[in-house]
């Protein structure tokens, strides 16, 4: 019996993704850049349906520059790359506004908003996957990171990156199962199939996975800190999913594209993974060190 195209493409993507994340470095940056590029093309395709004339090429270039500078900062050879990476968003936003002003037909508020949102949504937010993969280069993590690295031989950045992916996956699976079994109350009109029961199930699943993982890794107050992170990831993954659904509904399309057999477009597959890396990064690098060991 032949495998379902949706299952085959999903398994292939998962295998490639885990392998590249394990390799890290420029391989991970290259994979992320390809995903960002394809997703941006789909995003601007949705905008074009609404008659929006965004600064597509300028935004694409800015997003790739941001990813490259973030990876250079992650290497840790020159601290100035962190400053340059932080400056891409405001500087590129100004350049986008200037570019739209120079067009034969001056850009509208919608043109500017779509361009800068594209830079934020598919440039700034995904760049946090690179920060997360090399989180030990960007922040002091606390004693748990050193202990776990010594005991397991794994870098903290790899561990928290896989944890972030696992939490999103747990939230998706929990929401799907609970929605199928118990779903009654609609969650949002932008995505009629999603239910409140499914969202609660996804949040609970992510909290359990987060708490269990925190115990294994050795975080301070592991049950509390891990469950809290799981809760945050589930909520922000849901926001990412509903945001993309809102854009598709506004554009009047079912899928953002048809690149992946059985799955739709790239944006359809990565929507839950766009807001989450920033949440995990700032939790691990900012909040977790404040918790007494």
What residues in the chain have per-residue pLDDT under 50? 1-3
| Contact (Cβ atoms closer than 8 angstroms) between residue 9 and residue 260 | yes
Q: What's the pLDDT score for residue 275? A: 95
CA dist., res. 75 & res. 131, Å (int): 10
Residues 261 and 129 both lie in one domain: no
- Please list the alpha-helical segments (H only) found in 102-221: 109-119, 127-133, 135-138, 143-152, 156-182, 196-217
Query: Are residue 107 and residue 250 in the same domain, yes or no?
Result: no
Identify whether residues 111 and 80 lie together within a single domain: yes
Do both 86 and 169 map to the same domain? no
Whether residue 151 sits in one domain with residue 133: no
Mean pLDDT (the chain, rounded): 89
- Same-domain check for residues 206 and 101: no
- Residues 145 and 163 sit within 8 Å (Cβ to Cβ): no
Q: Identify whether residues 107 and 147 lie together within a single domain.
A: no
Same domain, 86 and 153: no
The CB density around residue 198, as the number of other CB atoms within 10 Å, is 25
What integer pLDDT is reported at residue 195 of this predicted model? 93
Q: Report the C-alpha gap between 66 and 92 in whole angstroms.
A: 10
Rounded Cα distance between 80 and 145, Å, is: 25
Mark whether 127 and 168 lie in a shared domain.
Answer: no
- pLDDT for position 192: 83
How many domains is the chain partitioned into structurally? Answer: 2
Please check whether residues 164 and 200 belong to one and the same domain.
yes
Instruction: Convert 126-137 to b/e letters by CB count within 10 Å (16 or more is b).
Output: bbbbbbbbbbbe
Inter-residue contact 203 to 231 (CB < 8 Å)? yes
Domain boundary (90, 117, 138) is at 138
DSSP state for residue 257 in the 8-state scheme? -
| Predicted local confidence at residue 191, as pLDDT | 86
Q: Phi/psi at 264 (nearest 5 deg)?
A: 90, -135
Asked whether residue 144 falls in the same domain as residue 47, the answer is no
Residues 120 and 152 in one domain: no
Q: Indicate the residue among 99, 119, 138 that finishes a domain.
A: 138
Check: CB of residue 282 under 8 Å from CB of residue 81: no
As a whole-number percent, the residues of the chain with pLDDT over 90 amount to 65
What is the span of the domain harbouring residue 26? 1-138
Residue 194, phi then psi, degrees to nearest 5: -85, 140
């Amino acid at each position: 019996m032949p495998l379902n195209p949706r299952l085959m493409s999903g398994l292939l993507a998962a295998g490639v993704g885990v392998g590249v994340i394990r390799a890290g470095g420029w391989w991970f940056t290259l994979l992320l850049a390809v995903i960002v590029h394809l997703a941006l093309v789909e995003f601007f395709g949705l905008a074009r349906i609404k008659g929006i004339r965004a600064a597509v090429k300028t935004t694409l270039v800015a997003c790739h520059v941001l990813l490259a500078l973030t990876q250079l900062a992650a290497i840790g050879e020159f601290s100035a790359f962190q400053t340059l990476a932080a400056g891409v968003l405001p500087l590129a936003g100004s350049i986008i506004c200037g570019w739209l002003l120079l067009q034969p037909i001056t850009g509208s508020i919608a043109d500017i908003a779509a361009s800068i949102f594209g830079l934020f949504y598919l440039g700034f937010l995904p760049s946090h996957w690179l920060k997360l993969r090399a989180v030990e280069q960007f922040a002091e993590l606390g004693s748990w990171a050193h202990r776990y690295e010594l005991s397991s031989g794994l870098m903290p950045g790899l561990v928290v990156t896989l944890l972030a992916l696992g939490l999103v996956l747990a939230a998706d699976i929990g929401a799907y199962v609970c929605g199928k079994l118990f779903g009654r109350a609609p969650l949002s009109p932008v995505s009629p199939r999603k239910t409140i029961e499914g969202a609660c199930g996804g949040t609970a699943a992510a909290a359990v996975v987060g708490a269990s993982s925190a115990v294994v890794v050795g975080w301070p107050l592991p049950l509390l800190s891990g469950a809290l992170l799981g809760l945050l990831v589930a909520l922000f993954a849901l926001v990412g999913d509903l945001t993309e659904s809102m854009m598709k509904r506004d554009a009047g399309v079912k899928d953002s594209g048809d690149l992946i057999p059985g799955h739709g477009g790239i944006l359809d597959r990565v929507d839950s993974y766009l807001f989450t890396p920033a949440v995990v990064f700032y939790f691990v690098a900012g909040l977790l060190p404040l918790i007494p060991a």
